[in-house]
Structure 1
Amino acid sequence: ETGPCGPCSELYYDKGPNFGEAPSPANDPGGKRYLEFWNLVFIEFNRDTTGEFSPLMKKCVDTGAGLERIVEIKMNTSSVFETDILRSLISSIEHISNLKYEADPNLKPAFHVVADHLRCLGFAIADGVIPSNVERGYVLRKVLRRAIRYGRMLGIDRPFLGELLPALNVQMGTDFPELTKSLAQAQEIITSEEENFLRTLKRGGNLLATIIDYSKKTGEISGDDAFKLKDTYGLPIDEILLLASDADLKVDLHGYEKLEIEAKARSRGARKIEADKVSHSFAATYLDAFDPVSFVGYSALDLDQTQVNVLFAEKEKVSSLKKGEKGALVLNTTPFYAEQGGQVGDKGIIEKEGFIFQVEDTQSPYPGVVLHYGKVIQGEIRGGDLVSAHVDVRTREKTSNNHTATHLLHYALRHILGEHVKQAGSIVEPERLRFDFSHHKPVTDDEMAQIEDLVNGMIRRNQPVTINEMSYNEASKNGDILQFFGEKYGAKVRVVSAIESKELCGGTHTSSTGSIGYFRMIREGSVAAGIRRIEAVSGHEAELYARERERLLHQLGNILGAKPAHLLTRGEKLLQEQKELQKEVVRLHKEVLVIELESLKEQIKTIAGIPTLAHIVSVPPKEMKEIADCLMERESSLLLLLASVDQNKCSILVRVSPDLISKGLKANELIFQITSVVEGRGGGKSDQAQGGGIRPDKLSEAILKVEPWIQSLINPS
């Protein structure tokens, strides 16, 4: 390691003989009696890569005291977990778990983890961090899931952390009012996460039990199986390791990590290869020959004169493009906005006398390089030619309106749902907008209406949208301006303000909120755990959407014979009628089954003393199973084989009562005999098995095998 360093010292406090008989800190590695509560580092040297030390011009002392350890000393407790705040949380855990903290020393670590992690969850969510699959959210999700695992060690197999959160608020809410403010929201978020994780454990746990069972032969869960549990069922590797340890098994972590790396490489492979081609084949080299492209599209959509610096076709530099050819142009100055921050690239025309190039998309694969993708409609273009550039005004206006509408939507979501809402991605197009955001549950119809009303209210106020440039340092100090964690910002940033909404944004926007016209949300749903998505339209598209819905209502009214105002009543009546019809179908179905059962019971015959029924029925496989269930319930001793035909396939079901299994008759062995005749396969257990085949014409021949099979087992010659 390199850098500033120096000698250090630790301060220990002797808590006295009641906490141990060790004569010195060196003899007390657990720190039960001698507690290290302070640390001093006398920074006076710099260590270089060769390990040599050189004196620093300015020396200093780095000091750090453990606040909770000082409290431990003041309260004279055996650990920080027995100080007032944490011990109070542990008391709440005792109440939920019905266990006593002092009763079993082996369970104390579980109490400690749950108490500590509960405090972490409460404060993190109050600060705006939401459990997710990325960055800080992923760290918090791992903390929460670790607390759940330790809670299970205390016998708590239900969501419980949200239930404990008020205890944290009682202890710390007065000094940290943000805990009280976020309490209800935090409880919902934590409980939702707990429910999701417990479902994951249940879903993946069944497969894990099977894997553990067959892995006992080798003493190790393979990397393939561990990766399948994580990738398919979402079972964290930490949980897999703990459960494997409980079963005295190891996990092939090397194999698991190899598959994890390969999966990550595949997921980003295509994008990375494409990016490499773009950046290294021409984008990076472009800046060796030319200055960065100048973008003037915030203030101008038409440029009378600009120069074509480079032309590309199929990602290769070319000298010219002719009529009908597709390619990309790089101009030294452009009014075209390149796709960025979710906003799609501009469309338009680049032209000169005798030449027209239709711009279909604008991209910036490399900082300082703007590519205008499209097709030559007329004439020919060469590098160095002077052209004029014209952005499609209507398309830009619609895109800008939707971008401003996205900002208003973000503000409305935070206002209605809570300040925990953070943007998690967006797409802004001329025809629609899509906005992903952090939220732990579906947005209700009532909340959707409130959000939509708030956005449209801001649109009707028709207030100016202002854009100010300032330093990033200045913007970051303003708590009202939203910025996005993980986003890269330059030294200078643009602050877009629309009524109460203020965000850092490099996109294009309308001049006033009234230009948006009208806003409608058309869809809301989940895209990942803790991430919701809203799709919306504005302006003319919103009017078209409303008109189409009205047309559909009238059509539906005509079909159902009701006016739009009475559609709900008519629909409810039809559903009730459908339920009554379904009840009648079920009743008739039961009658048919009874008739079928009585018919089948008459066909039971005895083979070598074994009550046997082997029959082809004219019902679907699902109903065949119902018949089998009823027969086995009614008959205390029976070997049952039922078969049915569906198009060019046949299904076979075998059941054997327990008393006949003891005589050597097993369903999984009989199914093998039968399916081999119909060219199929099957499997199961000794009491029940099922299978199928592709030769239904041989079913009768297959059923004839039942009697000799029974005879061979009961009366072997």
Structure 2
Amino acid sequence: MVPRIILAPMFIIGSEFFLFSEMKKYKNWEANVMEKMGLNEIRSKFLEFFKTKDHYVGASYPLVPNNDKSLLLINAGMAPLKNYFSGVEVPPKNRMATCQKCIRTGDIENVGVTARHATFFEMLGNFSFGDYFKRESLAWGWEFATKWLNIPEEKIWVTVYEKDDEAFDIWSKEMGFPEERIVRLGKDDNFWEIGLGPCGPCSEIYFDRGEEYGCDSPDCKPGCDCDRFLEFWNHVFTQFSKEEDGSYSELENKNIDTGMGLERIACIMQGVDNIFEVDTIHSVLEAVSKVAGVEYGKDKANDKSIRIITDHIRAVSFLIADGVLPSNEGRGYILRRLLRRAARHGKLLGIKGTFLNGLVDEVIKVSGDAYPELVEKEDYIKKVIKIEEEKFNETIDQGMEMLNSYKEELKKEGKTVLSGEIAFKLYDTYGFPLDLTVEILREEGLSVNEEEFSEEMEKQKERARTARGNMDGESWKEDPLAKEENVESEFVGYVELTGEGKVLAIVEDSEIVESASEGKDVVVVLDKTNFYPEGGGQAGDCGVLKNDNCAVAVKNTKKGPAGSIKHFGTVVAGELKAGDVLTCEVDRENRMACSRNHTATHLLHKALKEVLGDHANQAGSLVTADRLRFDFTHFEAVTKEELKTIEEKVNNAIFNAYDVVAETMDINAAKAKGAAALFGEKYGNEVRVVSMGDYSMELCGGAHISNTAQAGMFKIISEGGVAAGVRRIEAVTGKAVYEYMNKKDELIAKVCATIKAKEDGLLHRVENVLEENKNLEKELHNLKTQISMQSADSALDSKVEVKGVSLVTNKYENMDMNTLRDTADNLRDKMESGVVVLANVADGKVNFVVTATKDVIEKGVHSGNIVREVAKIAGGKGGGRPNMAQAGATEPAKVDEALNYAKEVIESQVK
């Protein structure tokens, strides 16, 4: 690092030095004229300015952190650069400048309520990693603000840490900044530190908005709680390290980390009071208003909804472009939460159907030039949003009805807290994120028992864990090998399936023993082995370990503690002893079958990316001798046409007979070569790169065939969803494909025999049978309709009047639900005005159906509430819409009492 020796009075501009006496020639001492400047222009000017100062100007990092488990999403401009500051990684240059995309959801409940909170924002920043320090940072801050943005000098105030005389002197003595506009503030305001480690003072630059925004105090200045002074650029000087004893030591290499909110400086440059009036954001806001058919600024409730949708559609567009998919946990939950919150506020504005995906056009229009990933993934972003919004729309009305009914119950009972059990049901059944339920209830002064909700969530996770069982095999904490030294094994079986190894340890009944006799189940550890240990989704090898005195039948191989490889097996002959040298004989047929399937997963991964897009990343795999299972990120079911194309691409790669080549190299060399790595997977400095011609190249430690042609053929067996945003393909290769085709032939032969048709006439025969079945179903439906009409005529005799509302009730036995609903509809239509409550008893269970005409609904009648109260009498529950609802119950003996109770329920509802 070049030493910096700076003698006052001197002033640094860029890499040049000016005598203080010459500084006035450089500065414009007259008030500058501040012109209105667009957000995109400000961003460009900032990056261009620091390019002139010899900075490396990088594109924004993705919102998904890379190799940083401490963050769900990037929430600050310096967050992606932490490893550069800490010295873990070498930066592309010791001077950098970025405009970083950021997401923060800590204040999401305030987004839309206020006009300044946002979940998505952009942070401008310039950084020095042991290069320049305070003088350059402050001088360039001043230069950019006054020369490139033309902010009037008299409008600028600055703050410094109260003990940072160096920063104060740079501003006042070296830069000639008026001392009366330099404010010293305490540690809470102007000192950056998080626990132990690097920290330091900071200097903030403020814009004076004018006395009209002030508090009329003669001492009004930055640090005051009023709205007059707006901080827009913070310069952090990382010069200390906080030690455990509370002291501060000087860092040898000092850093600069500055941050300027792009939206905030845009407010200043455009003379507006809030971020929603900034040009690019306001353009999206206007698009929302247009879709809703609502004018912004006329109604507070509507304005709140418009602001929420405006902010959230920007956030979700960038999140999806960076690879985030909706799910129920992690960053996927944040995306789902934002999408569903925006969708709900669209309904509050009266927007029908899906609409959010259409707003993506405006986001791309105003931000696509700066962030080309939005343009490249436009169709993908829209599709993900549309699918998620459609899913939510399927359940939101029913969920809102249920939530509204519970709200009414709370109010009637004089309570204000909704149980966590009900909130969890809304989440689990209707897709309502807890935050959305909390927000809806908060609007009416109600809340949720979030502790109970967490308990219900944990119960569900425990049920899932129990159902899933223990998939991890033996616990290493209980493994006796964990306490042993010198049990490290070397795997030497990528190519050779036979070899020799010395017995380092024998485990029998969870204890290390010196020998094991015939018939004993054991775990054997060798110093070298040709047996592949289960890993990377690939099953472990089986085979035989033997010498002249003993033989061990190995049924599985796994990795163990302390670098060991564990052979699970049974002593089938002689006596096994520690120190024995054994011959390793891997089951060739089993290894080849596993290897064929493993190689096919690499080809499948590549084909998925080619057909579905680069977002289709591996999310898990299982490779055994009989099949392969491959999980990947994707937002919807893969179509039959897409599956056909994927299968064809994999088979073409097999038929092209690509050589499968494995090379060991440095991790950086592997990445430079283009090898694909699994997201979130940890790799050492040296990695194994597996290439298949010029078609596929991935980091992989597994066993493979030597040529893709050895896979024989690839056949997809199934495709389906396993989690939100994760799909699964199961497939077979080689001999398993032959067996699969034989089973298909046998099935076709059985169908032909059953349906009495020849194979070439099978399709025609099936079509005829289906047509005959369709005609029979039609006749059956007509008969049921006649029964329904007759039932309706006889049930009208039970009609009574309840506070001016006609009510018909009736009980049936062994009637299917479709006929019961049809009967209720027929009765309602014949009555023209009134309520119908019907029950059916079959197999010891009860079903209720309630329906009502429009005129009585206007009087206060609600079918969903009626059926819920009626069903309770018979030990049941249910609900539904005002005009139609149904419920189930378990006590047939109380059906008559339940039907009779309908009168009381209606009487309480009618206004």
Q: Same fold (TM over 0.5)?
A: yes
- SS state of the match for residue 540, structure 2? coil
Q: Report the more deviating stretch, 101-110 or 574-583.
A: 101-110
**Equivalence for 1:44:** 239
Residue from 146, 167, 171 that aligns with 2:362:
167
Asked if structure 1 preserves the Cα contact closer than 8 Å seen for 2:785 and 2:822, the reply is no
Residue 381 (structure 1) shift: 1.9
1:232 & 1:472 partners in 2: Cα distance?
45
Q: How does 1:623-634 map to 2 (within 5 A)?
A: 623=819, 630=826
Q: Report the more deviating stretch, 481-490 or 225-234.
A: 225-234
Residue from 470, 495, 519 that aligns with 2:689:
495
1:49 & 1:463 partners in 2: Cα distance?
58
Residue from 470, 482, 494 that aligns with 2:676:
482
1:682 & 1:146 partners in 2: Cα distance?
32
Residue from 208, 211, 220 that aligns with 1:14:
208
1:310 aligns with 2:310: no
- SS state of the match for residue 337, structure 1? coil
User: Is the alpha carbon distance of 1:568 and 1:51 closer, same or farther for their aligned partners in structure 2, counting shifts above 3 Å?
Assistant: same
Asked if structure 2 preserves the Cα contact closer than 8 Å seen for 1:292 and 1:368, the reply is yes
Residue from 384, 387, 398 that aligns with 1:192:
387
Paired amino acid for 2:489: V
- SS state of the match for residue 7, structure 1? strand
Paired amino acid for 1:194: E
Residue 590 (structure 1) shift: 3.2
1:593 & 1:135 partners in 2: Cα distance?
51
**Equivalence for 2:162:** none
Residue 105 (structure 1) shift: 5.4
Asked if structure 2 preserves the Cα contact closer than 8 Å seen for 1:321 and 1:327, the reply is yes
2:600 & 2:626 partners in 1: Cα distance?
12
Residue 568 (structure 1) shift: 3.4
1:22 & 1:28 partners in 2: Cα distance?
11
Residue 229 (structure 1) shift: 3.4
Asked if structure 1 preserves the Cα contact closer than 8 Å seen for 2:505 and 2:512, the reply is no
Asked if structure 2 preserves the Cα contact closer than 8 Å seen for 1:636 and 1:657, the reply is no
1:16 & 1:399 partners in 2: Cα distance?
74
1:176 aligns with 2:371: yes
Residue from 444, 457, 478 that aligns with 1:247:
444
Gaps of 5+ in 2: 1-194, 801-805, 854-864, 880-884, 901-911
- SS state of the match for residue 648, structure 2? helix
Paired amino acid for 1:188: K
Asked if structure 2 preserves the Cα contact closer than 8 Å seen for 1:346 and 1:391, the reply is yes
User: Is the alpha carbon distance of 1:572 and 1:14 closer, same or farther for their aligned partners in structure 2, counting shifts above 3 Å?
Assistant: farther
- Relative to the length of structure 2, the TM-score reads 0.66
1:469 aligns with 2:643: no
CA shift digits 1:345-404 (9 cap, x unpaired) = 111111222422221111224351222222232233233333222111111111111111
**Equivalence for 1:665:** none
Q: Report the more deviating stretch, 401-410 or 20-29.
A: 20-29
**Equivalence for 1:289:** 485
Residue 629 (structure 1) shift: 6.2
Paired amino acid for 1:402: N
Q: How does 1:315-334 map to 2 (within 5 A)?
A: 315-334=510-529
CA shift digits 1:693-717 (9 cap, x unpaired) = 5889xx9xx99x99xxxxxxxxxxx
Q: How does 1:136-151 map to 2 (within 5 A)?
A: 136-151=331-346
**Equivalence for 2:700:** 505
Residue 295 (structure 1) shift: 1.4
**Equivalence for 2:47:** none
Residue 654 (structure 1) shift: 11
1:121 aligns with 2:316: yes
- SS state of the match for residue 570, structure 2? strand
Q: How does 1:561-600 map to 2 (within 5 A)?
A: 561-593=756-788
Asked if structure 1 preserves the Cα contact closer than 8 Å seen for 2:490 and 2:527, the reply is yes
User: Is the alpha carbon distance of 1:494 and 1:204 closer, same or farther for their aligned partners in structure 2, counting shifts above 3 Å?
Assistant: farther
User: Is the alpha carbon distance of 1:47 and 1:374 closer, same or farther for their aligned partners in structure 2, counting shifts above 3 Å?
Assistant: same
Asked if structure 2 preserves the Cα contact closer than 8 Å seen for 1:221 and 1:251, the reply is yes
Q: How does 1:115-514 map to 2 (within 5 A)?
A: 115-133=310-328, 135-152=330-347, 154-156=349-351, 158-216=353-411, 217-231=414-428, 233-260=430-457, 264=461, 278-282=475-479, 285-286=482-483, 288-313=484-509, 315-366=510-561, 368-478=563-673, 480-499=674-693, 500-514=695-709
1:165 & 1:84 partners in 2: Cα distance?
16
- SS state of the match for residue 449, structure 1? helix
Paired amino acid for 1:117: H
Asked if structure 2 preserves the Cα contact closer than 8 Å seen for 1:282 and 1:317, the reply is no
Residue 344 (structure 1) shift: 1.0
2:596 & 2:395 partners in 1: Cα distance?
42
User: Is the alpha carbon distance of 1:103 and 1:681 closer, same or farther for their aligned partners in structure 2, counting shifts above 3 Å?
Assistant: closer
Q: Report the more deviating stretch, 225-234 or 446-455.
A: 225-234
Asked if structure 2 preserves the Cα contact closer than 8 Å seen for 1:357 and 1:377, the reply is yes
1:655 & 1:529 partners in 2: Cα distance?
35
- Relative to the length of structure 1, the TM-score reads 0.83
- SS state of the match for residue 524, structure 2? strand
Paired amino acid for 1:456: N
Paired amino acid for 2:503: Q
Paired amino acid for 1:72: C
Paired amino acid for 1:237: L
Residue 210 (structure 1) shift: 4.0
CA shift digits 1:599-623 (9 cap, x unpaired) = 7889999xxxxx9999996753645
- SS state of the match for residue 505, structure 2? strand
Asked if structure 1 preserves the Cα contact closer than 8 Å seen for 2:232 and 2:261, the reply is yes
**Equivalence for 1:530:** 725
- SS state of the match for residue 419, structure 1? coil
1:627 & 1:67 partners in 2: Cα distance?
64
Q: Report the more deviating stretch, 494-503 or 298-307.
A: 298-307
1:240 & 1:555 partners in 2: Cα distance?
54
Paired amino acid for 2:544: I
- SS state of the match for residue 443, structure 1? coil
Residue 222 (structure 1) shift: 2.5
1:652 & 1:37 partners in 2: Cα distance?
64
Paired amino acid for 1:249: L
Asked if structure 1 preserves the Cα contact closer than 8 Å seen for 2:487 and 2:525, the reply is no
User: Is the alpha carbon distance of 1:653 and 1:177 closer, same or farther for their aligned partners in structure 2, counting shifts above 3 Å?
Assistant: closer
1:626 & 1:324 partners in 2: Cα distance?
69
Residue 464 (structure 1) shift: 0.6
- SS state of the match for residue 475, structure 2? helix
1:187 & 1:640 partners in 2: Cα distance?
44
1:331 & 1:420 partners in 2: Cα distance?
41
User: Is the alpha carbon distance of 1:389 and 1:483 closer, same or farther for their aligned partners in structure 2, counting shifts above 3 Å?
Assistant: same
2:702 & 2:341 partners in 1: Cα distance?
41
2:354 & 2:755 partners in 1: Cα distance?
45
Asked if structure 2 preserves the Cα contact closer than 8 Å seen for 1:275 and 1:365, the reply is no
CA shift digits 1:317-352 (9 cap, x unpaired) = 444433333232222222111111111111111122
CA shift digits 1:588-641 (9 cap, x unpaired) = 333445566677889999xxxxx9999996753645675576567657999999
Residue from 504, 511, 521 that aligns with 2:716:
521
User: Is the alpha carbon distance of 1:477 and 1:90 closer, same or farther for their aligned partners in structure 2, counting shifts above 3 Å?
Assistant: farther
Residue 683 (structure 1) shift: 8.6
1:248 & 1:165 partners in 2: Cα distance?
34
Paired amino acid for 2:651: N
Identity percentage of aligned residues = 35
User: Is the alpha carbon distance of 1:358 and 1:14 closer, same or farther for their aligned partners in structure 2, counting shifts above 3 Å?
Assistant: same
Residue 652 (structure 1) shift: 9.2
